[in-house]
Amino acid sequence: MKLSLTAFCFVLLVKAGFADQRSLNAVLERATSAFDQGRLEEAERQLDAAARVDPKKPEISNLRGAIFTRQKRYEEAAQQFNQALALDPKFYPAKVNLAEVKMLEGRYGEASQEYQALKDADPDSEALDFKLVLCSLLDGDPGRARGIVDLMKFPGKTPAYYYARAAIAQHGGNNELAQKYLENVKKYYSETQCRYFSQSLKEVDLSSSNAARPEKIPDLPSGDLGNSKTGSK
């Protein structure tokens, strides 16, 4: 059966669309990989290439905002995250990243409110628990931070618990205890799983003159939890 010229052109257009989508996904993967490796200029180049294919992908604005955040260009970062949400109001990563910008700008109360709103919608998120712990510590409320950690599931699907405990220890001035948590977490979670939490901890200043209360560092029960994928519980 012969295809009409119109049908044939339609088939070509569909195939071209699929090819463009595959190309776009590949470029975004390269951009994300470059970002994770700290090669921010390369990540931006890849995002520019992605934008030429489809400028309306919220992932592009979101990742560009993440680059600006890493560079401490917070106002520009917020603009990019808002642009991502304008393209897709339900785009979850941009909502989380907007709260992150507020935390890094020192607007801890606002950031905590936004993280809590996201937590209410996603109660199993260990990453949001971790962010709420950071906000509490930065806002001078270690008691609230400890309360959040005490309610976190242990062991978790992510290394959030260990990094939250390390943050509390750092805030209390007990760097030795913090380092033990950071070393212990590597026994059970991969570098990829730890990267997000490790980077988040490095981006904030938790130094404090408060003395840390003694804590016992828990061990995970036996089981193949080291291969669990990063993500919300």
Compute CA 56 distance to the chain's CA centroid, rounded to the nearest angstrom: 22
Report whether pLDDT(211) > 50.
Answer: no
**Dist. CA 98–CA 148, nearest whole Å:** 22
| Reported confidence tier of residue 126, pLDDT bands at 50, 70, 90 | very high
pLDDT tens digits for range 15-54: 334 345 678 899 999 999 999 999 999 999 999 999 999 9
How far CA 113 is from CA of 52, 110, 116, 150, in Å, comes to 36, 5, 5, 20
What are the domain boundaries of the chain? 1-105, 107-233
Q: What's the mean pLDDT in 55-61?
A: 95
CB 127 within 8 A of CB 95: no
CATH node for 1-105: 1.25.40.10
Query: What's the pLDDT tens digit per position in 139-181?
Result: 999 999 999 999 999 999 999 999 999 999 999 999 999 999 9
Based on the number of CB atoms within 10 Å of its own CB, is 34 exposed (0-12), middle (13-18) or buried (19 or more)? buried
| pLDDT bracket for residue 233 (50, 70, 90) | very low
- pLDDT value for 24: 87
Q: Report residue 86's pLDDT band, with 50, 70 and 90 as the boundaries.
A: very high
- Average pLDDT estimate for 195-214: 76
Provide the token pair at 16.
């071209």
pLDDT: which is higher, 13 or 102: 102
Alpha helices in the chain (DSSP H): 5-36, 40-53, 58-70, 74-87, 92-104, 108-121, 126-138, 142-151, 160-171, 175-184, 191-202
Tokens 């409320």 appear where? 141
**Residue bearing the bigger pLDDT, 59 or 214:** 59
Provide the whole-model pTM.
Answer: 0.79
What is the structure's pLDDT at 11? 41
Distance CA 167, CA 4 (A): 66
In 10 A of CB 21, how many CB atoms? 12
Band the pLDDT of 221: cuts 50, 70, 90: very low
Which of 48-62, 200-214, 217-231: highest mean pLDDT? Answer: 48-62
Give the whole-angstrom CA distance, residue 103 versus residue 233. Answer: 23
Give pLDDT, residue 207. Answer: 81
pLDDT recorded at residue 20:
59
